[in-house]
Amino acid sequence: MFAGLLGAHLALQHPLWSGLLTVVFAAWCLAVYLRPQLWLTVLPALLPMAGFSPWTGWIGVEEFDLLALGAAAGSHAGLAAGRCERAPGYFRSSQRVSALVDRAADSGRCGESASTRWFRLAQVVSGLLAASYLLALGRGLADAGGFPLGWFEGYEKPLNSLRLAKSFFLVLLLVPSLRSLLRRTPTLAGRRLVAGLLSGLGLVALAIVCERAGYPGIFNFSTPYRSTALFWEMHVGGAAVDGFLALTVPFVAYALAHARTPWRWALVAALAVVAAYACLTTFSRAVYLAVAVSLIVLAGRLAVPWRQRCRPGDGAILAPAPERWRVRGNRLLAALLTFEVLAVLGLGNYMSTRVAASERDLGGRLEHWREGLHLLRVPSELLLGRGLGRFPANYSQTVPGRAMPGRLQIIEGGEGSHLRIFRPPHGARARGAFELLQRLPPLGDGTYTVAMDLRAPQLASLRVAVCQKHLLYAAFCLQTAFAVLPADGEWRRFSITFAARQGSGGVWRAPTLGFLSLRLEGPADCLDVDNLSVLDAAGHQLLENGDFSSNLAHWFFAGYQYFLPWHVDNLFLEMLIDQGAIGLLLLLALLAMAFGNLLSGPGRGHVLAPYLLAALAGGLAVGVFSSLLDMPRAAFLFYLLLCCALYLQGLSPENRIEPLPAPLQTP
């Protein structure tokens, strides 16, 4: 009930499509109620797409939250009504499993009781981590000023605490349904989860191909351009796309191994090639490391049962020889992937420059970690943390020379509302840049007229640009600078007309979007902006909320080249700063239990166990050098796979069961 009401409230407050999203949310809740396993596919598949912050202006809330809340509401209603999906042959196979478990329990009490104790312990630790999250959330809200919250608050405001907490609690709301599905139909649930993960990976890979086709070029590996796909959270840096790729790539190996026909195998192989391109063109050393770690873990985990099955004698079952088409296809795929790696790394010099700077970057990362640790000044902070979501504000205000490169504030007055853009103090000028943005339609040939009212207490310079830009990197910009003189509080009207001319772009040029960009420069610490407009050649208004009467709806911002105030760039240090040693130890305990379940616990016999193990290992490899839990969608996927690993069990009504040994057969 709570999830449904909260989701409906969020849908009604949406800046763009409140009525439509309310109807869609209700339909989604009903769909999950009727088909409880539907969310296992839909959530991972739509996770990369369900975020429209560059259009809405929302930072702390996004459309994916509605999907997760609808899934929770529908699945809880289904559980309350006793609805569940059963695989074909459920009753027949469940009777055989029940007989096996009952006999095993009577003889040694070693099967069901052990798994029950395991899952109860996982519940206890999860509950303790939830308590840690709640405590850190309360501390973070109190430190930021508490309620009320604003819909358009940034990373230094109270809403940021909820932004970091929501992923864990959304997964927690789905855990009862997840446990029920994994217990009743584990094979079917696993297949639907994998289908969702592969669909999401395919969307991300295609988005990266289109992104690079529209901006640097598909085969341009020298321009300093790092792919971000549809993860808008990376407007201030971060590792959202890195974490998503690391957590999903291992399941491509699962799909390749379990494809039963050449056509299905070819489809998955095409996905593997496109996904490899996506991983390579992030030019992220963390992604390269994570994929290597996950593949090594996967190979090591799969090698043990394969050797046991292939060893003759002792009643072992010899593994059947793979089909000829599969052997040839695997060889061809390996050759294609090798060529792809050599092409991306050898035909451009961007990655070589990043590798050459690794030692310097590691030194800077270590210094950044030390600065983050210095935020924990007293024993209580070391034990409980500074509060959830408070790192950006605390770091930028405490560490000398590390101020935010800019911030935004809506000023309410008798003459209406307007926007004030701030820069850091003169003694702490950041190395990067800070821009106010609004998404524009694709730019075409013609003229664009930009106009606005400006006011400054000191001499200021405002750089105005109309850019063809995906998120952080522009294909081209039409720009100029306005010099704003102090005028005793008087507004001045500025306007400029740009002439845009698009090239043909060739066959590989993809459609691109635009941004209006405002960047405060010069000596002034702040600048007031109001009554913005962008007119095309036909006189059509391209901007929304140019007078800021709807707060920051439709407005967005981005940082460039300087991301230290927003991320501590380490998953474990992030937990320590936000939730203290208690929260970090609880997370480590959950991870240890998940790995234990996949390696030697009740879940070790499930077909997905090696792939979940590889995915979590890859995610943690990214987390060593990047913040993963401050990217809500990546954090949601991480916690979802972690809970799957915690509650996975190999003995199930759907798993193939060999004939029972004679002493255990029912008479």
Which pLDDT band, with edges at 50, 70 and 90, does 86 fall under?
very low
Backbone angles phi, psi at 613, to 5 degrees: -60, -45
451: CB partners within 8 A, 6+ apart: 493, 494, 495, 496, 531, 532, 533, 535
Question: What tokens were used for 317?
Answer: 């079952």
Encode pLDDT of 310-358 as tens digits: 555 444 445 567 788 889 999 999 999 999 999 998 888 899 999 888 8
How far, in Å, CA of 346 to CA of 219, rounded? 11
Please give the pLDDT value at position 268: 96
How far, in Å, CA of 276 to CA of 280, rounded? 6
628: CB partners within 8 A, 6+ apart: 239, 243, 571, 574, 619, 622, 634, 635, 638
Encode pLDDT of 461-476 as tens digits: 999 999 888 888 888 8
Burial 607-645 (b: 16+ CB within 10 A, else e): bbbbbbbbbbbbbbbbbbbbbbbbbbbbbbbbbbbbbbb
- Judged against a pLDDT cut of 90, whether residue 169 lies above it is answered with yes
Q: pTM for this one?
A: 0.91
- Judged against a pLDDT cut of 60, whether residue 529 lies above it is answered with yes
- Determine the residue type at 403: A
How far, in Å, CA of 318 to CA of 296, rounded? 24
Encode pLDDT of 135-160 as tens digits: 999 999 999 998 888 999 999 999 99
What DSSP element (H or E) covers 57? none
DSSP line for 137-186: HHHHHHHHT-SPP-TT--TTSTHHHHHHHHHHHHHHHHHHHHHHHHHHSH
Q: Residue 274: how many CB atoms within 10 A of its CB? A: 18
Residue indicated by tokens 């090594």: 296
Please give the pLDDT value at position 310: 54
> Where would I find the H helices in 311-456?
324-346, 350-356, 358-373, 379-384, 391-398
Q: Which CATH fold would you assign to the domain 407-501+511-560? A: Jelly Rolls (2.60.120)
Please give the pLDDT value at position 84: 54
Residue with the bigger pLDDT between 662 and 193: it is: 193
Please give the pLDDT value at position 100: 40
DSSP line for 195-260: HHHHHHHHHHHHHHHHHHHHTT-TT--SSS----TT-GGGBTB--HHHHHHHHHTHHHHHHHHH--
Which range (190-199, 206-215, 305-314, 444-453) has the least confidence? 305-314
Contact 559, 566 (CB under 8 A): yes
- Judged against a pLDDT cut of 60, whether residue 306 lies above it is answered with no
How far, in Å, CA of 513 to CA of 556, rounded? 14
- Determine the residue type at 563: F
How far, in Å, CA of 504 to CA of 120, rounded? 62
* CA 645-160-12 angle, 5° bins: 90
Strand order in the sheet with 514-521: 474-484, 460-469, 514-521, 433-440, 556-560
How far, in Å, CA of 570 to CA of 371, rounded? 13
Which range (127-141, 419-433, 472-486) has the least confidence? 419-433
- Determine the residue type at 52: F
Count of alpha carbons within 13 Å of 103, Cβ hemisphere only? 14
Residue with the bigger pLDDT between 418 and 113: it is: 418
* Percentage of the residues of the chain whose pLDDT score is greater than 90: 65
Please give the pLDDT value at position 14: 95
Encode pLDDT of 578-632 as tens digits: 999 999 999 999 999 999 999 998 898 899 999 999 999 999 999 999 999 999 9
Encode pLDDT of 628-639 as tens digits: 999 999 999 999
Under DSSP, is residue 568 helix (H, G, I), strand (E, B) or coil? Answer: coil
Q: Taking Cα atoms as reference points, which of 297, 182, 298 lies closest to residue 606?
A: 182
Q: Taking Cα atoms as reference points, which of 635, 612, 633, 625 lies closest to residue 248?
A: 612
Residue indicated by tokens 């050449």: 262
- Judged against a pLDDT cut of 90, whether residue 290 lies above it is answered with yes
Please give the pLDDT value at position 650: 74
How far, in Å, CA of 172 to CA of 149, rounded? 23
33: CB partners within 8 A, 6+ apart: 74, 75, 77, 78, 81, 83
- Determine the residue type at 546: G
Which residues are bridge partners to 422 per DSSP? 407, 526
Q: Residue 392: how many CB atoms within 10 A of its CB? A: 21
- Please provide the average confidence, as pLDDT, over all residues in the chain: 87
Q: Can you tell me the mean pLDDT for 197-214?
A: 94
Question: What tokens were used for 340?
Answer: 């792809």
Which pLDDT band, with edges at 50, 70 and 90, does 429 fall under?
low
Which range (70-84, 174-188, 205-219, 428-442) has the least confidence? 428-442
Question: What tokens were used for 186?
Answer: 């584990």
Q: How far is CA 607 from the centre of its chain?
A: 26
What are the domain boundaries of the chain? Answer: 2-355+566-647, 407-501+511-560
Encode pLDDT of 1-39 as tens digits: 889 999 999 999 999 999 999 999 999 999 999 999 999
How far, in Å, CA of 249 to CA of 237, rounded? 22
